[in-house]
Structure 1
Amino acid sequence: MAEVELDEVGELGDQLPSGAGAFLKTVKHKKPQTIAVREFLGFWGYKRRGASIVRVIERALAQRGLTSSPEIVKADYYGDVTILDRRDLAEDADLEIGWPISSVLDVEKELIAVGPDESLIAVETLMVMHDFSQIPVLSKTGRDLYGSVTWKSIARWSGERSEGTARQAMDANSHSAQSSENLLDHIENIIKYEYLYIRDPSNMYVGILTATDLAQSFHSTSGPFIKIGEIESRLRVIVNELPLPVIQQAKQPTDQSRQINDASDLTFGEYVRIIQNPEHWDQLRLPFDRATVVKNLEEVNQIRNDVMHFRPNLDGQTTSAIDRCLNWLRVSRSK
């Protein structure tokens, strides 16, 4: 992560980079500002949109009565995002729905390509070295896609291997999409053809999304989703050991419409509220340090929204907090 100069300190104690602070000060009611996603992330010294940095940015915006359109996490990584006053949100006509393809790309991974006149032996060497099933054949500008050399297209070519070129052995029927397009619209073709080349808004080819990438993305998101479900189930069992009046008191006093019959009617935040109470903690007789457990539960509560909405780009800090929570919950009743 690049070092950034810190300037402002927000209400929650977050130090705001000076570049971000200067930019956000230009955003006024009825005067939104548009900025490249990569430039905006760069204020914080980041390239990736992990869950932790997204929360930091969203918190910085919320503290100033601002928001983004689309959400930072849903914006095309190679495109722009508009930062605006929350009061202007209802008037904004450019709200986007769905996940852009760039949200699941490894943006730090360079797209390796070959020119049409590259020797077939050189192409095969690159494919073996990088464990590729296909490699794009691009123009020098990186904006013209001629086709793909695949192991299947090499097998179909009947010429002399030592004299062949990428152009001669390639499959001209390659598949591509803009980085801003909805990922869901392309999943069927990615599975069918096994890959999809990605273009940024300038039509420069910047990445490839394979069926394997899709599977890994699904696993990295669905895994935490399933673990959060287990955490909630285990917390429910623990909290249900308390008297019903105690469980019912966890509800916000202003929430009159919701009826609480047992712990299953509580929110995750209400589980945290119960457990952080020293008296309730003593009643539960959990064999751990209360402050450490509560801090961990507060971490998980923060990231739960990302996980339950299947936001991509969950980072190591996020998954680590979930795993730590499961570790103590799984042994809480075995001691």
Structure 2
Amino acid sequence: MLGIDEKLTETERLSAFFHMVNRLLPPDQVVLAIPPEMPAGEALSLMRANGYSQLPVKQGESVLGLFTYRAFALEVAKMKKPAVDPSTLAVEEFLEHEKPAYARLSDEFRGLVDVLDERDSVVVSGPDDLIAILTPMDVLRYLYSVANAFVLIEEIELALRALIRASTPDHELFLTCIRNALSKKYKDKELPQRLEDMTFDEYVALLRDGRNWPHFESNFGGTRERTRGKLEPIRDLRNDVFHFRRELSIGDHKALTTCRDWLLRCVRKVHAREGGRQ
């Protein structure tokens, strides 16, 4: 009924619309668990070698707790005059300092933000069914992947407006450029008077019009055709992003980043020309 493959699990169906824990987990994550009798020094070496900040301690299929740098440090701090080298102690001696928090794949991640802030990790998906370890960095990377296109498009659009304003400082000149580029489109309708009332495609139309280009050339650089070629694909990507038509490819993200970096250079050029600091 919802247009989702009925063969998918309930969690997979829900995560098609909502941000569940299963969407936050890195696809290539390998969970490295250690036995409770492993010496702490050996566990610390494993953590350093793999870039982990914690390791789940398992007996059979049961998760007994988490061995972390923090747990090791707290236990060592308790030993005023340690009779033994703490690195030789079994990791189970350190588990009282880290009480694991658990989450299911179908949980909403927003409810875990405070938990991750406090504990630095969450065990997915339960004491007897270790699937993954969720960390604040996993959440950050996921949110970055979701939001990156929106952030880049915001920067592109705001920079484009700023450059158009800088190129047409006189309002009457700006209105003339609008008439040149958009009169046929609007016909008997009132033309927009402000950039904020225009679409991204209309920004491109301003620059695309040969009568307008001399006013924009010095700030955008290059040729009218090259500028058009840089911006028109962004228009289409913008529509895909804001209407959730598809997931962007790596190439799409690269195109957005390239356009954003180009406009940043244009803005810096204008700023430097006006005597400001770069």
Larger helix fraction of residues: 2
For the pair 1:167 / 2:139, whether they are aligned, the reply is: no
| Residue in structure 1 matching 2:198, options 266, 278, 293 | 266
Distance (Å, rounded) in 2 between the aligned partners of 1:128 and 1:189: 24
**Correspondence for 2:263:** 329
Among 194, 204, 208, the residue aligned to 2:120: 194
Equivalent position to 1:106, from 26, 29, 37: 26
AA in 1 matched with 2:104: Q
From the superposition, tell whether residues 245 and 35 of structure 1 become closer, same or farther in structure 2 (CA, over 3 Å): farther
Q: Which AA in structure 1 matches 2:22?
A: S
Pair 1:300 & 2:227 matched: no
CA distance in 2 between counterparts of 1:299 and 1:212 reads 32
Q: Which has the higher strand share?
A: 1
Shift of 1:196: 1.4
**1:129-208 aligned within 5 A:** 129-141=49-61, 144-155=62-73, 156=75, 160=84, 161=86, 164-171=89-96, 173-199=99-125, 204-208=129-133
CA contact (8 A) 2:47 2:55 kept: yes
Tell whether the 8 Å contact from 1:220 to 1:314 is kept in structure 2 after alignment. no
Measure the CA separation in 2 of the matches of 1:168 and 1:287. 66
Alpha-carbon spacing, 1:31–1:186, altered in 2? closer, same or farther (3 Å): closer
- Does the 8 Å CA contact 1:296/1:325 hold for their aligned counterparts? yes
SS at match of 2:131: strand
SS in 2 for 1:170: helix
3-state secondary structure, aligned to 1:80: helix
Q: How far apart in 2 are the matches of 1:36 and 1:149?
A: 35
2:6 to 10, 31, 34: 34
Output one character per residue of 1:284-320: Cα deviation in whole Å (capped at 9) or x when no partner.
334324444334323433444687799xx97653443
Q: Contact 1:111–1:206 at 8 Å: present in 2 too?
A: yes
Shift in alpha-carbon separation, 1:140–1:287, aligned structure 2, 3 A: same
1:154 maps to amino acid: F
**Superposed counterparts of 1:1-335, under 5 Å:** 33-36=5-8, 79-81=11-13, 98-141=18-61, 144-155=62-73, 156=75, 160=84, 161=86, 164-171=89-96, 173-199=99-125, 204-217=129-142, 225-240=150-165, 241=168, 242=174, 243=176, 244-246=178-180, 249=183, 260-277=192-209, 280-281=212-213, 284-285=216-217, 286-304=220-238, 316-332=250-266, 334=269
> What count of residue pairs does the alignment treat as equivalent?
247
Report how far residue 190 of structure 1 moved: 0.6
Extract unaligned runs of 5+ from structure 2: 169-173, 271-278
Cα distance in 2 for partners of 1:212, 1:251 equals 48
Asked if 1 retains the 8 angstrom alpha-carbon contact of 2:120 and 2:135, the reply is yes
8 A contact 1:100–1:180 mirrored in 2: yes
| Aligned residue identity for 1:174 | P
Sequence identity percentage: 20
Deviation at 1:193, TM superposition (A): 1.2
Distance 1:113 1:250 in 2: 67
Give a deviation string over 1:73-128, Cα, whole Å, max 9, x none: xxx9xx434xxxxxxxxxxxx69754222333321121222133333332222122
Pair 1:189–1:326, CA change in 2 (3 A): same
RMSD: 4.2
Compute the TM-score of the two structures, normalised by the length of structure 2: 0.67
Q: CA deviation at 1:226?
A: 4.5
- Partner letter of residue 195 of structure 1? S
From the superposition, tell whether residues 174 and 303 of structure 1 become closer, same or farther in structure 2 (CA, over 3 Å): farther
Q: Point out the structure with max Rg over C-alpha.
A: 2
